[in-house]
Amino acid sequence: MKVIIAPDKFKGTLSAEGVARAIEAGIKKVAPSTQTVLVPMADGGEGTVDAMLAAAGGTRHEVVATGPLGESVRAEFGILPDGMAVIEMAQASGFALVPPDKRDPTVTTTYGTGELVEAALDFAARRFLIGIGGSATCDAGIGAAQALGIKIYKEDGLEVGFGGAELIKIAGIDKSTVDPRVRGAEFLVASDVDNPLYGPLGAAHVFAPQKGASADQVNLLDQGLINFARVIEKDLGVDVSNIPGGGAAGGLGAGLVAFLGAAIKPGTDLIIEAVGLRDKMKGADLVITGEGQMDAQSIYGKAPVGVARLAKKNSVKAVAIAGRLGRGYEKIFNVGVEQIFSLTEIAGSADEAMINPSTYIEEAASRIAKEFLLD
Q: Would 307 be classed as within a structural domain?
A: yes
Within the chain, what is the greatest distance between any pair of CA atoms? 76
- 202 and 72 within one domain: yes
Q: Would 277 be classed as within a structural domain?
A: no
- 55 and 37 within one domain: no
- 227 and 123 within one domain: yes
Q: What is the distance between the alpha carbons of residues 123 and 327, in angstroms, rounded to a whole number?
A: 45
- 10 and 69 within one domain: no
- 60 and 14 within one domain: no
- 237 and 357 within one domain: no
Instruction: In the chain, count H helices and then E strands.
Output: 13, 13
pLDDT tens sequence for the chain (375 residues): 999 999 999 988 999 999 999 999 999 999 999 999 999 999 988 899 998 998 889 999 999 999 999 999 999 999 999 999 999 999 999 999 999 999 999 999 999 999 999 999 999 999 999 999 999 999 999 999 999 999 999 999 999 999 999 999 999 999 999 999 999 899 999 998 899 999 999 999 999 999 999 999 999 999 999 999 999 999 999 999 999 999 999 999 999 999 999 999 999 999 999 889 999 999 999 999 999 999 988 888 889 999 999 999 999 999 999 999 999 999 999 999 999 999 999 999 999 999 999 999 999 999 999 999 986
- 12 and 61 within one domain: no
- 237 and 158 within one domain: yes
**Helix residue ranges per DSSP H, 245-349:** 248-260, 267-274, 277-280, 303-313, 343-347
The count of domains in the chain is 2
Q: Would 260 be classed as within a structural domain?
A: yes
Instruction: Give the residue numbers spanning the domain of 343.
Output: 2-41+289-372
Q: Would 280 be classed as within a structural domain?
A: no
Structural domain ending residue among the three candidates 214, 235, 268: 268
- 17 and 144 within one domain: no
- What is the CATH classification number for the domain harbouring 230? 3.90.1510.10
- 162 and 32 within one domain: no
- 320 and 207 within one domain: no
Q: What is the pTM of this model?
A: 0.89
- What is the CATH classification number for the domain harbouring 302? 3.40.50.10350
Q: What is the distance between the alpha carbons of residues 276 and 266, in angstroms, rounded to a whole number?
A: 16
- 67 and 16 within one domain: no
